[in-house]
Amino acid sequence: MPNSALQATISLDEGAEQVQEVKLAETAAERDLIDSLAEIYSIIITLDGLEKHYTKDSISEDEYTDICNRLLKQYKSILKDETVEREFGDLEKFKHEWDLEVPRATERLRIGLPATIADAPVAQPTANQASTQSRSSATGQQILLATESFITFMDALKLKYYSKDTLHPLLSELIQSVNQVTETDFENRGKIISWLIRLNGMKATEDLGEDEARELAFDMDGAYAGFRGTVK
């Protein structure tokens, strides 16, 4: 595991078996870079263990969601630094370099959301049953917040805010607001998740193209209509 205290020992004279410690970092910037890569390594390992505990039901959903959200935010925050991102490369490169076998963390980082938020609900009752369930379990405030999240996101697209940095947080907030309202699936909910994964795979500095933005707006219109059908 990489960390700021790592040191390498090399043989300068194999015959005399003379060795000398060589520091991996010579400057403050290099130390900061090593520290950042060490944090990423730690996050990946921790996330893989967290996913394993979650699948075994040895951690509550609330605790899992809180920890997972924190780890994902830390991971994304560290990689916003251009120097760290350049050295990191991508997840597959980093895993190969450090010999990491972390399939659960890999999938979670690809999606960019805790399983409790990203996974589509299992229950798919009829429209009348879904409407009754939503009204009985969600408060008016929760429905209002979810509706406002849809409107805010679609307004951002109309104003041509196409960057990942803008859209991904808004869409993450949207799906979490929606999940507070209903645990039932609805038409085009899967589109929200698909776009979250797509945005998550973009670099922080990347923007959607005009065609992609129109496609996203169309899919969100459909998802909004599907959502409204569950809360009538």
Domain end position, chosen among 63, 86, 116: 116
The token duo for 69 is 């959200």
Domain boundary among 67, 100, 116: 116
Contact (CB, 8 A) for 111 and 200: yes
CA distance linking residue 143 with residue 125, whole number of Å: 19
Q: For residue 34, is it within any domain?
A: yes
Pair (131, 205) in one structural domain: yes
For 169-213, how does the pLDDT look when each residue is reduced to its tens digit (9 = 90+)? 999 999 989 988 887 788 888 899 999 999 988 887 789 999 999
158 assigned to some structural domain: yes
In a domain, 12, yes or no: no
Q: What is the pLDDT along the chain (232 residues), one digit of tens a residue?
A: 454 333 333 233 433 344 444 455 678 888 889 899 999 999 999 999 999 999 999 999 999 999 999 999 999 889 888 888 888 888 999 999 999 999 999 999 998 889 988 875 544 444 444 444 444 456 788 899 999 999 999 999 999 999 998 999 999 999 989 988 887 788 888 899 999 999 988 887 789 999 999 999 999 999 999 998 887 7
Answer yes or no: is 14 within a domain: no
Q: What is the pTM of this model?
A: 0.69
Residue found by looking up tokens 């369930």 in the block: 133
Question: Which amino acid, residue 111?
Answer: I
Whether residues 136 and 204 fall in one domain: yes
CA-CA-CA-CA torsion sign (77, 80, 85, 90): positive
Pairing state of beta strands 7-13 and 18-23? Answer: antiparallel
- From residue 147, alpha-carbon distances to 18, 220, 224 in Å are 70, 12, 8
| Residue 159 resides in a domain | yes
- Considering the domain architecture, whether residues 218 and 139 belong to the same structural domain is answered as yes
Note whether residue 52 is domain-resident. Answer: yes
Q: Looking at residue 77, which CATH number applies to its domain?
A: 1.20.1440.200
Alpha-carbon distance of 5 to 3, in angstroms, equals 5
